[in-house]
Amino acid sequence: MGHESINWDTLGFDYIKTDKRYLSHWRDGAWQEGTLTEDNVLHISEGSTALHYGQQCFEGLKAYRCKDGSINLFRPDQNAQRMQRSCSRLLMPHVPTEQFIEACKQVVKANEHFIPPYGSGGALYLRPFVIGVGDNIGVRTAPEFIFSIFCIPVGAYFKGGLKPNNFVISSYDRAAPNGTGAAKVGGNYAASLMPGSEAKKNSFADCIYLDPQTHSKIEEVGSANFFAITADGKFVTPKSPSVLPGITRLSLIELAQSRLGLEVVEGDVFIDKIDEFKEAGACGTAAVITPIGGISYKDKLHVFYSQTEVGPVTQRLYKELTGVQSGDVEAPAGWIVKV
C-alpha cells in the first residue's frame, strides 16, 4: 500500500507493507553491517530455532511527528536495553544500544511518508525483533541470528477521545513464576492467544492475568501493564518478576511523581482489594493509556470510576504522557531522540 492511499483518520493497528525494513545477520560471532531492504519476506532454514523452540524476542516503540515537523522517538534506549535482557534470557546475542537506535532512525527516515501527521493521534510503530535461524535440530541455541526492524503507521487507539473499557480476569497464566514473563518473547504471547480471544469473544477489551503462583494478585493485561489510583491519590502498579517491565509503565511512574506530585507504590495488588481503587488503567506503547471501566472477576463486574467517563488522574496522566511523546510538553532529560 502506498502512503498516498492511507486515510490517517481510520488507521487501526494492522500490518501495512511500508517501503523499507532494516536487516542484519549474526554470523561468525558478530552482527554484519545492517542494510535497508524492500523485501518483506524472510528466507530462513526450516531448522531455525525460532520456528521450533521459540528462540525469538521482539520490541515495540513509536515515532511521532511533532508540530514543527521534526520526528520524535520515545525512549528507544529503554527498548534496546529490554531487548538485550530478552536476548540474554534466550541465549541470543545482544544488539548494542547504539546499533539499535541507529537502525530505528534509518527505518523511520526511509519510511518518513508513512508517519501519521501531527495532531492525528497516530504514530509510526516500530517492530524490532531478533530470531534464531540457521540449520539445526537439537534443543540448543541457534548458529545464526537475524535482527530486523520494520514499521507500520498506526492510528489513534481511541478515535474521538479516551473511553473506558471492561476487562476480565483470566483463569489462565501467561508466564510461570520464574519463567520468561519479564522478557518480551513470543512464547508469552502464544500462551496469551486463547485467553485473549476468549475475552474478546465475551466483549471484553482483553484479559488481565493474576500472579501464576497464588492467583491472588493482579499482574498485567495481555499486552499492557496495569495501574490504579487510590482514593487518596496514590499511583499503584504491580511489581512482579513475571510481569513485562513496560516502558510506558516506567514513564508513568516517573511522570506521576515528578509532574503530578503523586506518591507511587510498586507492590502487590490483591484482586480482592480492588475496591480501594478510584481509577484504573492499562498502559503500553500500543494501548497508550486505556482507562479500565470495570473488571469482571468470578462473574461480578467491579466498576472503578465510571463505565462511560474517564477519571481525572487518568486524564492528567494521558495528557502529560502523550504531550511528552509528541513534543508538546517538555520531556524529562534523555527521553526523546530526534530522528
Ligand X SMILES: Cc1ncc(COP(=O)(O)O)c(C=O)c1O
Continuous H helices in the chain: 49-52, 76-89, 97-110, 186-201, 247-258, 312-325
User: Smaller CB distance to ligand X: residue 18 or 290?
Assistant: 290
List residues bridging with 145 in a β-sheet.
Answer: 26, 132
Measured from the CB of residue 76, what is the shortest distance to ligand X in angstroms?
11
Contact 130, 56 (CB under 8 A): yes
Contact 138, 283 (CB under 8 A): no
Contact 93, 26 (CB under 8 A): yes
d(CA 206, CA 73): 27
d(CA 168, CA 207): 5
User: Smaller CB distance to ligand X: residue 23 or 104?
Assistant: 104
Pull the grid cell for residue 243: 510481569
* Residues whose CB is less than 8 angstroms from the CB of residue 297 and which lie 6 or more positions away in sequence, other chains included: 168, 169, 271, 274
User: Smaller CB distance to ligand X: residue 106 or 180?
Assistant: 180
User: Smaller CB distance to ligand X: residue 110 or 269?
Assistant: 269
Our answer to whether residue 239 is catalytic in this structure is no
Q: Are strands 165-169 and 207-210 parallel, antiparallel or unpaired?
A: parallel
Host H or E run for residue 328: none
d(CA 81, CA 100): 9
Catalytic residue among 109, 184, 273, 298: 184
d(CA 51, CA 68): 44
Please report, as a single letter, which amino acid is at residue 322: T
Measured from the CB of residue 139, what is the shortest distance to ligand X in angstroms?
25
Measured from the CB of residue 252, what is the shortest distance to ligand X in angstroms?
9
Chain residues in the site for ligand X (CB under 6 A): 60, 220, 223-225, 244, 246-249, 284-286
List residues bridging with 239 in a β-sheet.
Answer: none
User: Smaller CB distance to ligand X: residue 186 or 233?
Assistant: 186
Q: Report which residue's Cβ sits closest to ligand X.
A: 246
Measured from the CB of residue 285, what is the shortest distance to ligand X in angstroms?
3
Measured from the CB of residue 2, what is the shortest distance to ligand X in angstroms?
28
Annotated catalytic sites, by residue? 184
